[in-house]
């Protein structure tokens, strides 16, 4: 399952993501991963969730992010939830100037999610009016 929360800055996406991480930490039977750009959520995410600071890895591209997610799964088959805060801040702007790159990544993630039985929750800082039908199908 892939769920996307989209909206401009200040619409409560990250706050909702933190609530979902806390809920998963209480209820999930597996491991929880949260990927964020920097260290701003350090004290809000429960210690039982693995917090990954994307800035430590210079992600840059959707291909790199796919590799990171695949590697996390290869090293830990107990992952049940992955939360990604501010997807577009993790990749270079040239990666998402063509919205089809975002659509392609979400479709890949959906296939990966079904194959590996992992739930993905993603926030995207962008006006909802810019969401295509291919992105809207993942809206929470």
CB 86 within 8 A of CB 121: no
- What are the pLDDT digits (tens) for 47-56? 999 999 998 9
Is residue 123 within 8 Å of 87, Cβ to Cβ? yes
The helix/strand/coil state of 36 is strand
Residue 95 has pLDDT above 80, yes or no: no
- Give per-residue pLDDT as tens, 12-42: 899 999 999 999 999 989 999 999 988 887 8
Q: How far apart are CA 110 and CA 77, in angstroms?
A: 17
Would you state the structure tokens that stand for residue 46, as one six-digit string?
């429960």
- The pLDDT, as a whole number, for residue 30 is 93
Domains and CATH numbers, the chain: 2-136 (3.40.50.300)
Q: Which tokens go with 132?
A: 């295509």
């Amino acid at each position: 399952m892939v769920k996307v929360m989209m909206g401009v800055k200040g619409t409560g996406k990250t706050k909702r993501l933190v609530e979902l991480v806390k809920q998963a930490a209480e209820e999930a039977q597996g491991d929880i991963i949260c990927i964020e750009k920097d260290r701003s959520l350090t004290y809000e995410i429960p210690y039982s969730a693995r917090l990954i600071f994307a800035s430590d890895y210079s992600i840059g591209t959707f291909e790199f992010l796919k590799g990171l997610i695949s590697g996390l799964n290869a090293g830990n088959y107990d992952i049940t939830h992955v939360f990604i805060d501010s997807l577009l801040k993790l990749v270079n702007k040239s990666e998402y100037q063509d919205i089809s790159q975002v659509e392609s990544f979400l479709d890949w993630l959906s296939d990966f999610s079904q194959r590996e039985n992992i739930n993905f929750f993603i926030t995207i800082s962008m006006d909802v009016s810019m969401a295509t039908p291919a992105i809207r199908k993942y809206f929470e």
